[in-house]
Structure 1
Amino acid sequence: MQDFKKIEEYLFRKYIAMEKQHVFDQIPDYLDGILDKSEKAKFEQHLEQCTECKKELEEMKAFFNVFEKEIPIPTNRLKTKFEAALELEKNNQGKVVQMESKTSSGWTGNLLKIAASIALLAVAFQMGSMFQQRKVNQNIAQLQDETNQMKQTAMLSLMENQSASKRIQGVNYIEEFDRPDKAIILALANRLLYDENDNVRMSAFEALAKFSSSETVKSTFIEALAQEKNPSIQVAIIQALVQIQEKKAAEPMKKLLEKEDTQPFIKEQIRAVLPSIT
């Protein structure tokens, strides 16, 4: 990472050099020995007066030495195989632009090596980030699953408590679940159908009403309507069944009309809504 940081700093200084009277752009040619005598003399004279350019020259020498040692050069065998494969692809694809094959050397070769190293570092960083993010996502998903399991256990335990207030608290735990599983729905249905406390049954109905599209919930409402004695809960169930247009609710409603102990206002409610679902 330190070499990569140095490369960034070098490229930045090279950009700044465009705005100043430095000879940064002549350093590669000087190192490759392609400056003529006049240019070389001016270059070396400038170095004697400019510590910044002199420092740049030494750093570039160090860079080239690092990449000469660390960047592997393809073997002749690999190069031969590549050129053979390229020739075969050219024959298969038809006419393509002929590219001259040259071995990179001097400043151009070193620049390509630097670019290759930067690309390798970037790919390695991205791959590492991707795998790290995947691991984090897996850990989060596992933690969420464990948390939901704990909430569900607490909810089911509370709904079996002897205290009515605790059972209501357990029923209200439904707010913690966006998509409760079958075990939770069945536990709520059991509270609505068989709990001895009116407030617990009403709380269970309100919790189930949020999932009235479920066939299990629809069947539970129909069964509860046939046996429920509390008028407030009866009215709530009737309204819910009418809202979802559950035609199977017509029969238990008709039976309530026939019962003598059905409250008069319940019968009026049924007579008003029954035509809409029959």
Structure 2
Amino acid sequence: MKQCENIQDQMADFLDEALNEQEMKQIQEHIDGCQDCNQEMEEMKALFFGLSEDELEQPSASLRMNFEQMLEEEKAKQETKVISLQERTSWKSYIRVAASILIVVSAFLIGKYSDGETKPSINPEVASILAKMEDDSASQRIAAMNRFEEINTTDSKIIQALIDRLLYDEKASVRLAAVEALAKFSSLEMVKQAMIKSLESDQDPAIQIELIQTLAKIQEKRALPPMKRLLENEDVPEYVKKEIQINMASVS
């Protein structure tokens, strides 16, 4: 672990090619053999080089004022946090703040000028949640869903993003969090259809139980066929089948 910390502390200098030949070789050999450090390096490259390559459309005077206001608010938030970092590792905070601001501004400009038409700007909070739901880290995707549950919004973009996580995310923990976040929108047809589709295909018992309970609560009759198929499936755990039997009466 100590070696990984030392390597990660030197990654910024490694990308800047500011180390001597022996140090560059040692870091490269470690990264090639360490999955965690390799992933850290890839994430750093995406931020380190991606920020310099992105080009944004020049905003009008009024949009520039809005951006400056958002920038001041973001700076104020950062100033409320006292973070003590060594000089060599301080670049991480700066890159993350810059990336956060870039996401908000990009979403704002794209929403304003997409297809040459004037459209309402995207709520910065919504833009941030959408960006985190695409994060490589499962914990960040779950954190985005938890944040969505805290704010009172029915933004269709976030609901669709939650459905995508439910149906296609590779992590069961993320899919389960998506079910829980979508539960309060179970009256929407698009959510009902997504939950039924997930019940037909997802093999994780915890997700199956959460879907069964949610669909039974809204008395969704279209959930009966997949529930019956689960009852007939020998691979389905008995406790899941018991949950189906308890809830089928509410659906039928």
Residue 148 of structure 1, CA deviation: 6.0
What residue is the counterpart of 2:173 in the other structure? Answer: 199
State the number of aligned residues.
136
Residue 175 of structure 1, CA deviation: 2.8
Quick check: 1:232 aligned with 2:206?
yes
Quick check: 1:215 aligned with 2:189?
yes
Contact kept in structure 1, 2:129 and 2:147, CA below 8 Å: yes
What residue is the counterpart of 1:265 in the other structure? Answer: 239
CA deviations on 1:166-218 (whole Å, 9 max, x unpaired) are 11122222135423222111100111111111211111111111111111111
Contact kept in structure 2, 1:174 and 1:180, CA below 8 Å: no
Cα distance between partner residues in 1 of 2:143 and 2:243? 31
Q: CA RMSD in A?
A: 2.2
Quick check: 1:180 aligned with 2:154?
yes
What secondary structure does 1:178 align onto?
Answer: coil
Write out aligned runs for 1:96-111 (5 A): none
Cα distance between partner residues in 2 of 1:192 and 1:159? 11
> Relative to structure 1, is the Cα distance of residues 147 and 174 closer, same or farther in structure 2, using a 3 angstrom cutoff?
farther
Of 228, 232, 242, the match for 1:254: 228
- 5+ residue gaps in structure 1? 1-138
Write out aligned runs for 1:1-278 (5 A): 149-278=123-252
Q: Which stretches of structure 1, 4 residues or longer, exceed 4 Å deviation after superposition?
A: 145-148
Cα distance between partner residues in 2 of 1:234 and 1:174? 22
Cα distance between partner residues in 2 of 1:154 and 1:251? 38
- 5+ residue gaps in structure 2? 1-65, 71-107, 109-119
Contact kept in structure 1, 2:162 and 2:178, CA below 8 Å: yes
What secondary structure does 1:180 align onto?
Answer: coil
> Relative to structure 1, is the Cα distance of residues 165 and 147 closer, same or farther in structure 2, using a 3 angstrom cutoff?
farther
Cα distance between partner residues in 2 of 1:219 and 1:178? 23
Higher Cα radius of gyration: 1
Cα distance between partner residues in 1 of 2:147 and 2:206? 23
Fraction of identical pairs, as percent: 45
Contact kept in structure 1, 2:176 and 2:207, CA below 8 Å: yes
Cα distance between partner residues in 1 of 2:161 and 2:238? 32
Q: Report the residue type matching 2:136 in the other structure.
A: Q
Cα distance between partner residues in 1 of 2:229 and 2:220? 16
What secondary structure does 1:273 align onto?
Answer: helix
